[in-house]
Amino acid sequence: MATSVRFWKEGQRFLPIFPQLCVVREPNHCKMSLKKLCRQSRQSHARIADAKDGSWTAPGKLLCEPGRLPHCRGSQGNVCRPLLQLNTTTQIRSICTSSLCSSQKSSPDPRTPSDPFQLVSTEMSTLYNDIRMELATFGSVLRDMSHYYFDGQGKAFRPMVVLLMSRACNFHNGASENGLALPSQRRISMIAEMIHTASLVHDDVIDEADTRRGKACVSNLHGQRKAILTGDYILTVSSMALASIGNKDVVILLSQVIEDLVRGEFMQLGTKEDEDERFAHYLKKTFKKTASLLAHSCRAVAVLSGGCKEVQEVAYQYGKNLGIAFQLVDDMLDFMSTEELMGKPTAADLKLGLATAPVLFASEKYPELNAMIMRRFSEPGDVELAREAVTKTESLQQSRILAEQYCREAVRQIQQLAPSPEREALVTLTQKVLNRKK
Amino acid sequence: MFSTTRLPSRTALPTFLRLSDTFATETARTTTSFARSRRNMPTELLANQKPLEKVSRSPFNVAFNVHRRTASHFACRGDFNSNPSLLICNKDSGLQSRTVSMWPSGRKSDWQKALSDAEKVVGYPTSFMSLRYLLSDELSNVAMHLRKLVGTKHPILKTARGFVYDGNNSMQTRGLLVLLVSKAAGPGGEWEEEEEEEGDEEEDSNGRSMVSGIYRSQRSLAEITEMIHTAYLMHRGVVNLEEVTSADGTVDDMSFGNKMAVLSGDFLLANACTGLARLRNTKVVEIVSSAIADMMEGSFLLEQDNQGVTFLPDKDWAIKDWTNHTFLCSASLIAKSCQAAMMLAGHRLDIQKKAYNYGKHMGLAHRLHADLLPFSDTSDPNMPFALTSAPLVLHMEHAGRAAVTDKITQVSDKSMKVDYKQLRLEVLEGPAIHAAKELCYDHAQRALAAVTVFQESEAKSALENMTRAVTRF
């Protein structure tokens, strides 16, 4: 039973001196950085502690403020990671009572770090409304069309990750006042959903799709031309919202997403002849089309939380790995729904001529798939044969193992942040991504 | 054939292209991809391509060039949202012969001269502006796929044709205006205080270096402005598959054309986005983005068919609606880009406002000029023109909406027949032409008034000359 560091809080107020605890390894430079830390924070509350039993012992571990982390550089310039393995109440309490908080009475955080959706539900509840406010225009057709997908029926997976990441980063940096995301970070979550939706609208025209999120595509209702212009409009409004945050680095990060989305789409047009290159091509495309948005918006909220480069990188890596895992599962579901939920449009990727992970894995055992991949499953029977090959091999399991690996990496990355209910939620989320059915 | 069209040798490259740090390496790559894309390019796209060397040396060809340039500007490329029906008829009957007969050469040289002078002022031919993106692997790829569409009437072919072979002649006036305004305004005041982080600010310092009186960031902005406009043309040329007729091509082909149009437009927009972000000025990002939003809002005001012919709206369409629509669709981008160029140089708000006004009124005057052109040509009395162009709107204000709707026979839900001959006669007899010209003078006057804020310079005279040129009919 992991105890959250929120333990250190009294109600919603942080203790002024130690917003949270973390333990830093690296014996040699500990003393030095300890002194440095104390100087910088003009506090001498940093103590050398042993995380194992909570007693105050000599070198090896350092208790410091994570907000000061960038200053704790090891001899090779490597950064001390917060280890955070204070697992039991007694450990925390013993540190607590022995050092700072003798006068404070700590109580466990009442919130359980369980459901990721629930954790941010209040902030999410206004999300679609906020987006519709941004998209307010005098033209009624344009307004209806641009609001079409922001009806609250979507999964809103991206905004949720972004909001959780915002809070986790804020907490890590000790910047959070009320445990909520900053207004600018909420804007990023909104922008992420808008960019995603704009790309969906364009993708549906490119793929000639009929339905999306259980209803008719906007391009089917109003024609392709207006749908494309609506997509551009949503994208542009998101770009205006982004600029209004006023942070140049964040603008650059999210513009990169737009470029990646287009480049990913272009990558989808071609197939690599070389079979070894093909998987790398696929993963790169997956990153650009799906993971880039999560990775960059996670990094953007880390930047806005005032996090140092290392925290930003953790956020980016989490988003990237989770995004790739998400798409791998998506590609698996495209095959699995055939067997489990009959009636749904299945093997849609194959019909579009796209070879996803399961097919690529299957082609190792069935080399005859290679020719089909090259001709993009264009000949009659290709789609059926490829689907059969996928079910006959372990390619779906292989895809799952790959997705699990990405999830594990995401978890490894996110655990470098200080523990918080949000961090736990982000860990839980990786499992939800792996086990999702739709 | 492409070698005759000349990929500019490195030394001959416009300064602006050479400014790119990565360009040296890119040149090597793009030369091959250029050749490759060339090979794969649909022949139809290249049919009209003329080697520039030849064109510029022969006096006849210069004159011809002038015609085509202007014609393509006003009619063909759909610039300033111009009347696309002109385009169709040009395409069928041969562009050169028509344009030669359409305007006596003496008239156009004003505009042409103003442009070539202006290009000298900014230091390089601005028609190179899109070259870098044309040569990208992505767009070469699209060009290769366009081969499949030859023979169809997908609008992307027109846009691409303009992009590929008219690249030498076509009017990239938006970019040119941004550069001229930048130069006319000169070096700016104090820069926005910039928190200097060590190391990675190199780009910024480059952005502040001036080449022939224009900041590098302003040159990027000019390029971005052109990209946005081209992307808009691409996306506006997406066809509604439901309305596709057998004359257009098969639904599959048209759908494929849509795919290419969406992708290439997205590609340009994405590059515009990253280019804007790299300017590291969030105010500029905001204002240029708002210009794109304006264009999208504007395109929803009027219904149009798959070939881009706009329909008369159901409600009354007055000249203020025309102005609003034209502002949103084209003038807004010029105006806001001009203002953004001032922001980049750190000019005061009042100067920004003047630049904005110049762009806005120049854009409107230019469009009025384009709208009036079909009425100064008497060669073909049946030549179609847009029912939503300024002279028609003014005609309706004078003679009533029925004066126009009487000439329309609805053939089906989405197609109609118009008695252009009779309608043209009536418009010419009425006061609409005069009123449209007055409006054009008025906007040109406002544009000229706006540039008085700048000190005398050749850039300023170039701006004035361009403005005066659009008021000569």
pLDDT at A212: 84
- At position A230, the amino acid (one-letter code) is T
Indicate the residue type of B344: L
Q: Which residue of B has its CA nearest to A245?
A: B282
- Least CB-CB distance to B269: which of A137, A225, A232? A232
- Pick from A225, A266, A270: which is nearest to B239 by CB? A225
**pLDDT of A47-77, one tens digit each?**
333 333 333 333 333 344 333 333 333 333 3
Split at pLDDT 50, 70, 90, the class of A205 is very high
**A211: three-class secondary structure by DSSP:** strand
Q: Closest by alpha carbon to A325, among A352, A295, A348?
A: A295
**Distance, in angstroms, between A104 CA and closest chain B CA?**
40
- Residue A119, pLDDT > 70, answer yes
Residue A321: is its pLDDT beyond 70? Answer: yes
Chain A positions touching B261 (Cβ under 8 A) are 228
The residue among A156, A209, A139 whose CA lies nearest residue A351 is A209
Q: CB A304: neighbour CB atoms within 10 A?
A: 23
List chain A residues with CB under 8 Å of B138: 262-263, 266
**Residue A257 with chain B: CB contacts under 8 Å:** none
CB contact under 8 A, B296 and A138: no
CB contact under 8 A, A262 and B267: yes
Closest by Cβ to A236, choosing from B255, B292, B299: B292
Instruction: Enter the ipTM.
Output: 0.76
Q: Do A251 and B239 touch (CB under 8 A)?
A: no
Question: Residue A221 belongs to what H/E stretch?
Answer: helix A218-222
Residues of B in contact with A263 (CB under 8 A): 138, 270
Class (C level, CATH) for B110-469: mainly alpha
Lowest pLDDT segment from A136-145, A189-198, B191-200: B191-200
Residue B464 corresponds to which amino acid? E
Contact B14, B125 (CB under 8 A): yes
Inter-chain residue contact A239 with B289, CB threshold 8 Å? yes
Lowest mean pLDDT among A102-116, A226-240, B79-93: B79-93
Task: List residues in chain B touching A: CB distance below 8 A.
Answer: 138, 141, 231, 235-236, 238-243, 255, 258-259, 261-263, 265-267, 269-271, 273-274, 276-278, 280-283, 285-286, 289-290, 292-293, 296-297, 299-301
State the pLDDT confidence band at A16, using cuts at 50, 70 and 90: very low
Q: pLDDT tens for residues A389-423?
A: 998 899 999 999 999 999 999 999 999 999 999 99
Using a CB-CB cut-off of 8 Å, the residues of chain B touching A254 are 277
Report the residue from A137, A226, A246 with minimal CB separation from B297. Answer: A137
Instruction: Please report residues of A whose CB lies closer than 8 A to that of B235.
Output: 225, 228-229, 232
Q: Which residue has the tokens 């100087």?
A: A39
- A333 vs A385: CA distance, rounded Å: 18
* CB nearest to A223's CB, from B242, B282, B301: B242
Give the residue from B224, B251, B266 with the most A CB atoms within 10 Å of its CB, the best one to mutate.
B266
Contact B21, B122 (CB under 8 A): no
Residue ranges, comma separated, of all CATH 1.10.600.10 domains in chain B are 110-469
The predicted pLDDT at position A345 comes to 58
Query: Does B269 have pLDDT greater than 90?
Result: yes
Q: What phi, psi does A23 have (nearest 5°)?
A: -110, 135
pLDDT at A164 over 60: yes
**What's the mean per-residue pLDDT of chain B?**
74
For testing the chain B interface, which of A228, A244, A304, A376 should be mutated: the one with the most B CBs within 10 Å? Answer: A228
Nearest to A228 among B141, B262, B267 (CB): B262
Residue A14 has pLDDT above 50, yes or no: no
Nearest CA in chain A to B232: A229
Q: What is the pLDDT of residue A405?
A: 96
Best of B271, B296, B343 to substitute, by most chain A Cβ atoms within 10 angstroms, is B296
Candidates A202, A206, A237; nearest CB to B293: A237
pTM of the model: 0.75
- In this model, does residue B166 exceed pLDDT 60? no
Chain A hits for B274, Cβ within 8 Å = 252, 255-256, 258-259
Distance CA(A434)–CA(B297), nearest Å, equals 41
Instruction: Give the count of Cβ contacts less than 8 A between chain A and B.
Output: 133
- Minimal CA separation from B19 to chain A, in Å: 21
Which residues of chain A does B289 touch, with a Cβ-Cβ cutoff of 8 Å? 236-237, 239-240, 243
pLDDT (0 to 100) of residue B184: 95
Q: What is the 3-state secondary structure (H, E, C) of chain B?
A: CHHHHCCCCCCCCCHHHHCCCCHHHHHHHHHHHHHHHHHHCCHHHHCCCCCHHHHHHCHHHHHHHHHHHHHHHHHHCCHHHCCHHHHHHHHHHCHHHHHHHHCCHHHHHHHHHHHHHHHHHHCCCHHHCCHHHHCCHHHHHHHHHHHHHCCCCCHHHHHHHHHHCCCCCCCCHHHHHHHHHHHHHCCCCCCCCCCCCCCCCHHHHHHCCEECCEEHHHHHHHHHHHHHHHHHHHHHCCCCHHHCCCCCCCHHHHHHHHHHHHHHHHHHHHHHHHHHHHCCCHHHHHHHHHHHHHHHHHHCCCCECCCCCECCCCCCCCHHHHHHHHHHHHHHHHHHHHHHHHHHHCCCHHHHHHHHHHHHHHHHHHHHHHHHHHHHCCCCCCCCCCCCCHHHHHHHHHHCCHHHHCCEEECCCCCEEECHHHHHHHHHHCCHHHHHHHHHHHHHHHHHHHHCCCCCCHHHHHHHHHHHHCCCC
Interatomic CA distance for residues A416 and A83, integer angstroms: 7
Interface test with B, best of A141, A143, A225, A226 (most B CBs within 10 A): A225
Least CB–CB distance from A262: residue in B261, B266, B282: B266
H or E segment at A23? strand A22-24
Chain B residues in contact with A138 (beta carbon < 8 A): 297
With 60 as the cut, is the pLDDT of residue A162 above it?
yes
Which residues in A have their CB inside 8 Å of a CB on B? 137-139, 141-142, 202, 205-206, 208, 223-226, 228-230, 232-233, 235-237, 239-240, 242-248, 251-252, 254-256, 258-259, 261-263, 265-266, 269-270
**Closest chain B residue to A252, measured at CA:** B277
What angle (nearest 5°) sits at the alpha carbon of residue B85, between those of residues B416 and B330? 115
What pLDDT, on a 0 to 100 scale, did the predictor assign at position A391? 87
- Between B229 and A33, name the one with better pLDDT: B229
| Per-residue pLDDT, A5 | 29
Nearest to B262 among A206, A230, A263 (CB): A206
Yes or no, beta carbons of B290 and A240 under 8 Å apart: yes
Query: What is each CA distance from B207 to A20, A242, B280, B348, in whole angstroms?
Result: 43, 22, 10, 19
A374/A274 Cα distance (integer angstroms): 10
* Placement of tokens 């799709």 in the chain: A209
Q: Is the pLDDT of residue A40 over 70?
A: no
Residue B150 phi/psi, 5-degree rounding, is -60, 130
Looking at residue B190, its pLDDT comes to 57
From B259, which residue of chain A is nearest by alpha-carbon distance?
A206
CB atoms A229 and B299 under 8 Å: yes
Closest Cβ opposite residue B270 in set A242, A259, A269: A259
Tens-digit pLDDT profile for residues A212-224 = 887 889 999 999 9
pLDDT: which is higher, A77 or B252:
B252
